[in-house]
A and B are shown apart, each in its own frame.
Chain A
Amino acid sequence: MDDAIHRSLGLTDEEYGDICRIIGRDPNHLELAMYAVMWSEHCSYKSSRIHLKRLPTEAPWVLVGPGENAGVVDVGDGIAAALRIESHNHPSAIEPYQGAATGVGGILRDIFTMGARPIAIMDPLRFGPLDDPRSRWIAEGVVSGVSGYGNSVGVPTIGGETVFDETYKGNPLVNVLCLGLLPTDRLVLGQATGVGNLAVLLGSSTGRDGIGGVSVLASAGFSDEESDAEKRPSVQVGDPFEEKRLIEACLELLDARLVVGIQDLGGAGLACATSETASRGGMGMDVDVNAIPRREQGMEPFEVMTSESQERMLAIVEPADLERVLAICERWEVRAAMIGIVTPGPATGDADGGRLRILDGFDGDVLCDIPAASLHEDAPLYNRPCIAPASFDEATRTLGTEPMPESTDVAAELLELLADNRWVFSQYDHQLFLNTVEGPGGDAAVLRLKHPVTGVDTGRGMALTTDGNHRWCAVDPRQGTALTVAESLLNLACVGARPLAVVNCLNFGNPEHPEVMWQLSEAIDGMAEACVAFESPVIGGNVSLYNESLGSDIDPTPVVGMFGLIDSLDRRPPGVGLVNGGRLLLLGTTQPELAGSRWARARGHRGGRLPSIDFAEHLRVAGVTRSLVASGLLAGVHDVSNGGLAVALTEMAVRSNLGISAARIATVAELFSESPSRVILCVPPENIAAVENVCSGAGVPVSRIGVAGGDRISVKGLLDIPLADAVSAWTDRIPSALGAGTAQD
């Protein structure tokens, strides 16, 4: 075998040697292609697995942890929730619409693979700056792709941040989270069991699209735009109508208990789905490559096995059920083809079994014969060098020595931080299924919790938030990630929810750069510390590496998705808003520290030492917030995060079109500090005493900082601007920038 082939497929010489050792001979072209995609960074997590083990993953309510298609938690009343987050960063960078669309399609399949009906999507999106035409082109395309696919496939998109920053110029981050619900007893796993059971391929025919998506595209950085454009054929093309029918057909198959196991086809296509189902079940599988319906003629077996054509599922069914399976598929106009047979393996005591064989007809030539498990379990595991940047002082956890700049015009500095992302989310159906109590734009989205089959309303609610902060993580990835998890917890508390589970999407640069590996390792430690403190197990995640362009890595961007429950959802949470005459109370204590803040980044400052966090104090603040939200004593509530008190207060004001008058904020540092564990409450005067009692009872500091009303936003001694100026800055920023035109190059 010519060594140039394995290298061009993204395998190193050492990895090639491992393959030869595993199968006891040189691999043929088909086998090599399958190892290349399955051992890619994207599929094998070979650089990150060693670190991911440090995350807490267990709790009594966790039914399925990391490693399956989605994590699953028990939410009571016989209902389980399936949760998963993924990235589609690289495809979206070069073909924004289809990249984002197929990201949505892929995450949905991960959820209904578990037997769950997908009920909500969140899309945390990060783009280059608004003044960059190519970044605007990417942003427009990605939002259209999410909208075009998500709306049509019939799953509401209920939230997700939209961030514009220089660091994502050339490498946007398109993360997609999906939540699904299932009756607890319908939980299915992606595994093949039972010798002689059949593997049935459902959905689209297989074409040449997306070949090498996980290896060529997702496991390498970007260089110049011309060669990136040549990678466009590695981006898949989505068909939401096919997916919609696939969802309905699969859920009907699951309801009728006609499948033993089911697995979606995503990255690495059939190579992954056949080997993964077989090896999870401790079995082998024979696959007839000719039985796979194709979109075009002349496809080579390696193309068929590694194609990432969308909207396909692999179901394992008992032979006696095949006819009923085909009938249900026909009703939903979903193509179904029997392509494989489950063969013996370790689970049936057959030590020599467990082979994945690709055949030229079930009685024909053997084209590939490898241990199914070796594509996963024997994938390389790297402990790559981790080195902190020279400018980071590990003793004090301080980056650089540059002094914080002075403020020159507080009003202007505030206005430039305001942006309403309504332009984004008004393009998403966020109300389908009649669950959405709080949609996009609030601290967290809130859904009614109804039984996924009977529709019976439990009277309880679910809450979802996604959060990431590359500015904090660029200063100190460990502390920054812990602060991010803390922000998620507080976002949930602001809608009255307690946390149940976390999923993460770890977006980092090139793992071959020791500083990037240090960032990743530190971020995982920070996440582990916070998740342990908050008793929030990590039930799944995704690692996206090689987020770089022109040799420059993105700022580390771990994105946290946190899922929580509201014990009694009998009224809408107060939300981010004000009432006239309402008193403004601040829970928690402000640390006058600007390092890592939006204010500092906007002034070009990228170092310093992040504010500290006391997990116990944070839990107290979250607990008090939760009980106050439930009590009905509040008129408005908002956590203090990006942009500090200045932005939090202004957001409450512009959303209610009501001014504020605040005091007892002494300095610019206090005004823009993003220190954690703080919440602003708007309290009708008659409820102040009751609210303060609750706080003091819980040992949470609370201070009266102002009153709502009037038509100005004023902070005594620091700021005084017309409300209208803030409203127009907030409202106009994104529409006017994206209305300014886009450019593809």
Chain B
Amino acid sequence: MSRRVGVVVFPGSNCEQDMLEAMALVGAEPELLWHGDETTNGVDAVIIPGGFAHGDYLRPGAIARFSPVMAAVAEFAAAGGPVVGICNGFQVLTEAGLLPGALQKNRGLKFLCAPAELRVESTDSILTRSAEAGAVLQVPINHFEGNYTCDAETLAQLRDENRIVLRYVDNPNGSVDDIAGVCNAGRNVVGLMPHPERATSELLGSTDGLALLRSIVA
């Protein structure tokens, strides 16, 4: 049973406290990991949270991939450890080569903070294993560069291998094939643009993110 969850903090991250709060709700023991340390500190799962790591300078994730902690995260992932990148974290994982594809500016060329509906396309990943296949989840998005893209070959592979884990019901940003989240071949590294931690309480408008977060520590 994996319980200790490390949330990586880069200068410029801003969703790390929200992740701590949300992961505690699903019974995890969350802690922060500092980007400058070359270790994942023995945690059972790693989350790279949203924000603007290193100011998103150059392009989102482009500098964060060089932070010392990322080598440890790559090693952890290669050993099968669960790694989830949310929003900016997804961008970091694609820049680091832990996930295929890239995230470009939204189709409307505007930042977009809005409710979104996600369909669970595959429950075979560390982020969706506790969710119901085909379920539609209300989970908000909050990004400028969330328009997922990849070459045709990669897209075919993602489809064939059932690695598109979440799709938008009503595509808000122009992502190819309505992709909201994908996983790696080992299914232990997942990136998604929507923020499940923002859908963890009736007061906030939705609890649909809990099923995803629970999967990480299931």
Contact of A432 with B by CB under 8 A? yes
Q: Which one of A147, A148, A241 contacts B12 once the chains associate, using CB atoms below 8 Å?
A: A241
Distance, CA A437 to CA B200, complexed state (A): 12
Once A434-B201, A572-B202 are accepted as A-B contacts, the answer to whether A244 and B52 lie under 8 Å apart by CB is yes
Question: Within the assembled complex, what's the spacing in Å between the Cα atoms of A148 and B201?
Answer: 28
Q: How far is the CB of B69 from chain A (nearest CB, A)?
A: 14
Which B residues touch A429, using CB under 8 A? 111, 113, 142
Given contacts A426-B113, A427-B112, A436-B204, contact A245 B12 (CB under 8 A): yes
Of A331, A428, A433, A569, the residue contacting B113 (CB under 8 A) is A428
Contact of A571 (CB < 8 Å), options: B54, B110, B203: B203
Q: Mark B185-218, 1 if CB is under 8 A from A, else 0.
A: 0000000000101101111110000000000000
CB of B174, distance to nearest CB on chain A (Å): 15
Query: B-facing mask of A414-440, CB < 8 A → 1, else 0?
Result: 000000000001111111111011000
Q: Is the CB of A455 within 8 A of B17?
A: yes
| A569 x B203 contact (CB < 8 A) | yes
Work out how many contacts link A and B, with CB atoms closer than 8 A: 85
B17 with A431: CB separation less than 8 A: no
Chain A residues closer than 8 Å to B17, beta-carbon distance: 433, 455
- Answer yes or no: B171 CB below 8 A from chain A CBs: no
B45 to chain A, nearest CB (A): 20
CB contact between B198 and one of A425, A428, A431 (< 8 Å): that residue:
A431
When the two chains form their complex, are residues B21 and A455 in contact, meaning their CB atoms are under 8 A apart?
yes
Is B55 touching A152 in the complex (CB atoms < 8 A)?
yes
Assess whether A434 is in contact with B204, with CB atoms less than 8 Å apart: yes
**Chain A binding site: helix, strand, loop or mixed by DSSP?**
mixed
Q: Count of chain B residues with Cβ under 8 Å from any Cβ of A? A: 33
Q: Are B14 and A154 in contact (CB under 8 A)?
A: yes
Residues of A691-712 at the interface with B, using a CB-CB cut-off of 8 Å, are: none
Smallest beta-carbon distance A120→chain B, Å = 14
How does the 8 Å CB contact mask read for B13-32 relative to A, with 1 for contact and 0 for none? Answer: 01101101110000000000
Q: Whole-angstrom distance between the alpha carbons of A436 and B21 in the complex? A: 14
Q: Are A434's CB and B12's CB within 8 A?
A: no
B18/A432 in contact, CB under 8 A: yes
Which listed residue, A147, A151, A241, A428, touches B54 by the CB 8 Å rule? Answer: A241
Of A147, A245, A434, most B-chain CB atoms within 10 Å: A434
Inter-subunit contact A434/B52 (CB<8 Å): no
B181 within 8 A of A: no
**Segment 617-639 of A: residues with Cβ below 8 Å from B:** none
Q: Which parts of B57-116 form the interface with A (CB within 8 Å)? A: 57, 110-114
Are the C-beta atoms of A431 and B203 separated by less than 8 Å?
A: no
In the complex, what distance in Å separates the CA atom of A430 from the CA atom of B14? 13
Q: Once the chains bind, are A431 and B52 in contact (CB under 8 Å)?
A: no
Tell me if B12 and A431 are in contact (CB < 8 A). no
Using Cβ atoms and an 8 Å threshold, which residues of chain A touch B112? 426-427
User: In the complex the two chains form, is B203's CB within 8 Å of A332's CB?
Assistant: no
**How many angstroms between the C-alpha atoms of A734 and B215 in the bound complex?**
41
User: What residues of B have a CB within 8 angstroms of the CB of A434 in the complex?
Assistant: 18, 21-22, 197-198, 200-201, 204
- Tell me, in angstroms, the Cα distance from A434 to B140 when the chains sit together: 12
Interface string of A448-481 (1 = CB under 8 A from B): 1000000100000000000000000000000000
B51 within 8 A of A: yes
Which residue of chain A has the shortest Cβ distance to B52 in the bound complex? Answer: A152
| B12–A426 touching, CB < 8 Å | no
Interface: B11 (CB within 8 A): yes
Separation of A426 and B144 alpha carbons in the complex (Å) = 11
Contact between chains at A154 and B140 (CB < 8 Å): no
A240 within 8 A of B: yes
Q: Which residues of A contact B55 (CB under 8 A)?
A: 152, 239-241, 244
Task: Give 1 or 0 for each of A389-432: 1 = CB within 8 Å of chain B CB.
Answer: 00000000000000000000000000000000000011111111
- Interface membership of A333, Cβ < 8 A: yes
Interface secondary structure of B, over-half rule: mixed
Q: Which residues of B contact A241 (CB under 8 A)?
A: 11-12, 52, 54-57
Q: What is the distance, in angstroms, from B68's C-beta to the closest C-beta of chain A?
A: 13
A427 touches B52 (CB 8 A): no
Do B113 and A431 touch (CB < 8 A)?
yes
A427 to B114, alpha carbons, bound, how many Å?
9
Let me know if B204 and A432 touch, CB within 8 A: no
Shortest Cβ distance from B16 into A: residue? A154
* Cβ–Cβ < 8 Å partners of A244 in chain B: 11-12, 14, 52, 55
Asked whether A245 and B11 contact (CB < 8 A) given A427-B113, A434-B198, A437-B204, the answer is yes
How far is A572 from B203 in the complex, measured between Cα atoms in Å? 6
Residues in A with CB closer than 8 Å to B198 are: 431, 434
In the complex, are the beta carbons of A431 and B11 less than 8 A apart? no
State the Cβ distance, B175 to closest chain A Cβ, in Å.
17
Q: Closest Cβ of chain B: how far from A356's Cβ, in Å? A: 34
Given contacts A154-B51, A426-B112, A431-B140, contact A571 B202 (CB under 8 A): yes
The answer to whether A430 touches B113, judged by C-beta atoms less than 8 angstroms apart, is yes
Which residues from chain B contact A151 at a C-beta distance below 8 Å? 52, 111, 113, 142, 144
In the bound complex, what is the Cα–Cα distance between A245 and B198 (angstroms)? Answer: 24
Q: State in angstroms the CA–CA spacing of A504 and B15 once bound together.
A: 31
Using Cβ atoms and an 8 Å threshold, which residues of chain A touch B110? 426-427
In whole angstroms, how far apart are the Cα atoms of A678 and B87 in the complex?
Answer: 43
Looking at the assembled complex, report how far the CB atom of B107 sits from the nearest CB atom of chain A, in whole angstroms: 14
Q: Inside 8 A of A571's CB, which chain B residues have their CB? A: 202-203
> What is the chain A residue whose CB lies nearest that of B34?
A331
- Residues in B whose Cβ lies below 8 Å from that of A152: 12, 52, 55-56
Query: Which residues of B sit under 8 angstroms from A432, Cβ to Cβ?
Result: 14-15, 18, 142
Chain A residues, CB < 8 A from B144: 151
Docked CA distance A73–B112 (Å): 33
Compute how far the CA of A739 lies from the CA of B113 in the bound complex, rounded to whole angstroms. 19
Residues of chain B lying within 8 A (CB to CB) of residue A245? 11-12
Given A151-B52, A427-B113, A431-B195, 10 more pairs with CB closer than 8 A: A151-B144, A152-B56, A240-B52, A241-B11, A426-B111, A427-B111, A431-B198, A433-B18, A434-B18, A434-B197
Can you list the 7 inter-chain pairs with the closest CB atoms, starting with the nearest?
A241-B55, A154-B14, A427-B111, A152-B52, A147-B111, A434-B18, A437-B203
- A interface list, Cβ under 8 A from B: 147-148, 151-152, 154, 239-241, 244-245, 248, 331-333, 425-434, 436-437, 448, 455, 569, 571-572
Q: What are 20 A-B interface contacts by the 8 Å CB criterion?
A: A148-B111, A151-B142, A151-B144, A152-B52, A154-B12, A240-B55, A241-B52, A244-B12, A244-B52, A426-B111, A427-B111, A431-B140, A434-B22, A434-B201, A437-B204, A455-B17, A455-B21, A571-B202, A571-B203, A572-B203
